[in-house]
A and B are shown apart, each in its own frame.
Chain A
Amino acid sequence: MAYALQQLINGLTLGSMYGLIAIGYTMVYGIIGMINFAHGDIFMVSAFIAVTAFTILAAADVTSIPLALTFVLIVSIFFTSAYGWAVERTAYRPLRGSSRLAPLISAIGMSIFLQNTVQLTQGARVKPIPPVLEGGVVLWDAPGFAVQIGWSQILIIVTTVILMSAFTWMITQTPFGRQQRACEQDRKMAALLGVNVDRTISYTFMLGAALAAVAGVMVTVYYGVVDFFIGFLAGIKAFTAAVLGGIGSLPGAMLGGLLIGLIESFWSAYLWAEYKDVATFGILCLVLILRPSGLLGRPEVEKV
């Protein structure tokens, strides 16, 4: 029981991170209908920025953890959004209106490019930082097994909940959210109604990148080690999460992320860890066969 609870906590933490990255996929997909394969690498870039920022702080002898976290978050979000914007501007915008595969290939190219740029400029070695948030609370001291939740795990789950609420509010309540949804439904019509489509798309990429940046900082805090290759696996998992939840749907992305985190966690806890990815993809296939638009996706009945 205690064991299951601990695995639940692990799964939720992992899932939150997948969810944060998945939102970036789902937003971009929602608005321009493309799979942004470079999104995982944007996340990787943000983790490197976070490492650099933490190292600077350590050199400057900043010991206040809240202060440090705030600083790193702001720096990382700022620069990562710039990357998100630049990627969209150079690799995707020129391809708007061409076949839906062209931006996909461009994205794959961008992903390879980003990975190698970071490898070149930051080195191929893993980048560790000393633990930022050590310790945690023992939730339940069951005989033989103490269920623990680390401060960093609490930080991740709480941040995710706050960001999700803020996001839902922004998409449903603010003018930007309305423009964003308008572009999702019909870009041409939105443009006719005076929505600046290009700008809305740019902002969407920046927002997605900002969320990836938060995830990047969290990963850096939680695991303490980043390398130029982390974007790939995280990206694939997050994309799977987005599809599982129903691509285009924000709560869906979060739900998908959490589900995948939990599946991975419990599958490797009780069954064969080496087949955990088979389980993830198997469940994805099953869900899609039963619900072709994902869990929370709008059913896509093509009008005849």
Chain B
Amino acid sequence: MSAVVFARHAMTPAERLRDAAWVAFVGLVLGIPMVGLTTVDAGGRLGVETRFGLLAAVVAAVFGGRLLLRWAIDQARNRKLERERASTATAADRASGALKLVNFLGWVALGTAITLPILFSDNRYVVDTATTVLIYVMLGWGLNVVVGLAGLLDLGYVAFYAVGAYSYALLSTQFGWSFWEALPVSGALAASFGILLGYPILRLRGDYLAIVTLGFGEIIRIILVNWTEFSGGPNGISSIPRPSFFGLDFTRSPAEGEQSFAGFFGLEFSPMHRLIFLYYLILVLALLTHAFVSRLRKLPVGRAWEALREDEIACQAMGMNTTHIKLSAFAIGAMLGGFGGVFFAARQGFISPESFVFTESAIILAIVVLGGMGSQMGVVLAATLLVLIPEFGRGLAEYRMLLFGLAMVLIMVWRPGGLLAHREPTLRLKPLQQSAPAKEAAR
């Protein structure tokens, strides 16, 4: 265990070379079966093809890359050490620094979020991608309550997402409910599913809980696939109505006796109106969610979630009913996931079970953990990253998902606590601003 980082001596060039050679050798061993050899279809049978040139290039790249990486890590470490030695910052200073950073990020994010559709008012792709980011932010915030705050590992979060999406889709296509009528009902349904799932498995700890939630997610998906009469089965549900602007539809040619959004405001019809409206709609609801969750965190129930994550037994000894606390976390998390599902259905206009697979749960969980457990801003940061990496990668075709996986590993290794690991206390005895001058006086 190399915990004693500061005692590491500087590596000599020979050591560096030996280290890189060893890594290159490992690369060679790993590369032989995957890069060096491959099987190709040779007229109905497989034949082996060798690509030793490519393998050599890969090994050389690994060698060079390792030298560079090692050097870069050492540099970064030294700089960090020096900075730590030089600075006299106290924990309180660092905390207020982190707080300032988070606040700054938050304002920047809010600013860009609001101005984005104005800047890109005729760019579908940007607005739509931003909408996707917002949906994932919502999902991240929902799961953050369950995993980040209450510490209950949920690998089947996609189930609630699916419940929300299907509730909206069914209520609107079968019963003609509007978006605004269906939204709260879908959220409530998702929340009840959260309680339904939560109740029988409260006794389970940690990873047992994880596998059962994973199973629950799969069960919901399998039922959606097979119960054709109810959910449309694998065909899914199409032609889901889009939210209207206080009763005004976003159509080019409104139905008899009705007015469209563009007609009412005397604008020329543009499909962007609907997109931008949906974006702002989700943004407003996301901000409400943010306010809601941030406030909850500062309430007894929020602190109870965090206490539960920290030590369940101590919670019981404090007279807290852990059953209720867990269920409330599950319910609130599920409800937010359900809202996310509604937005997803409204964005797509079409849903099918394919969109609610385990990978989706894994990505939402990754958003929470990469962001820094329990950190609302972290979720925003991580959701943006995880949605944008594959989008950026569209130019890279096959390398896209490979880089996505690699990025997840690297971010985790680089910052095991998540991107924004700082935890801001829910209340302070002395506000931060007051402690600074007091320290000045003490010097």
Contacts and interface: CB of A to CB of B under 8 A. Distances in A.
Direct A–B touching, Cβ under 8 Å? yes
A289 interface: yes
Interface residues of B, number: 62
A55 interface: yes
A115 B204 CA distance: 31
A247 B1 CA distance: 25
Interface in B117-165: 147, 153
A95 interface: yes
B402 A113 contact: yes
A166 interface: no
A111 B405 contact: yes
Interface of B is mostly: helix
B404 interface: yes
Given A98-B416, A110-B405, A292-B208, A275 B33 contact: no
Contacts of A95: 412-413, 416
A35 B209 CA distance: 12
Contact of A293 (B208, B370, B399): B208
A109 B412 contact: yes
Contacts of B114: none
Determine which residue in A49, A106, A236, A280 has the highest number of CB atoms from chain B within 10 A of its CB, and name it.
A106
A82 B402 CA distance: 20
A292 B203 contact: yes
Interface residues of A, number: 79
Contacts of A116: 398-399, 401-402, 405
Nearest to B44: A128
Interface in B93-130: none
Contacts of A300: 205
Contact of B405 (A29, A112, A240, A292): A112
Interface stretch (B247-255, B282-290, B346-354, B361-369): B361-369
Given A105-B365, A281-B216, A239 B211 contact: yes
B212 interface: yes
Interface in B184-207: 200-201, 203-207
B158 to A, nearest CB: 14
B404 to A, nearest CB: 6
Contact of A82 (B29, B35, B408): B29
A285 B215 CA distance: 8
Contact of A29 (B41, B207, B369, B406): B207
Contacts, number: 194
B201 A289 contact: yes
A127 B39 contact: yes
A275 B222 contact: yes
A243 interface: yes
Contacts of A97: 3
Interface in A52-85: 52, 55-56, 58-59, 75, 79, 82-83
B34 A121 contact: yes
Contact of B208 (A52, A90, A128, A288): A288
Interface in B208-237: 208, 210-212, 214-216, 218-219, 222-223, 225-226
Given A116-B401, A288-B211, 8 more contacts: A82-B29, A101-B153, A128-B46, A197-B1, A277-B218, A281-B219, A284-B212, A302-B205
Interface of B: 1, 3, 26, 29-30, 32-35, 37-41, 45-48, 147, 153, 200-201, 203-208, 210-212, 214-216, 218-219, 222-223, 225-226, 313, 358, 362, 365-366, 369-370, 373, 398-399, 401-402, 404-409, 412-413, 416-417
14 contacts: A51-B46, A52-B38, A55-B48, A56-B48, A79-B30, A79-B33, A91-B409, A95-B416, A101-B373, A102-B412, A239-B211, A275-B226, A292-B204, A293-B208
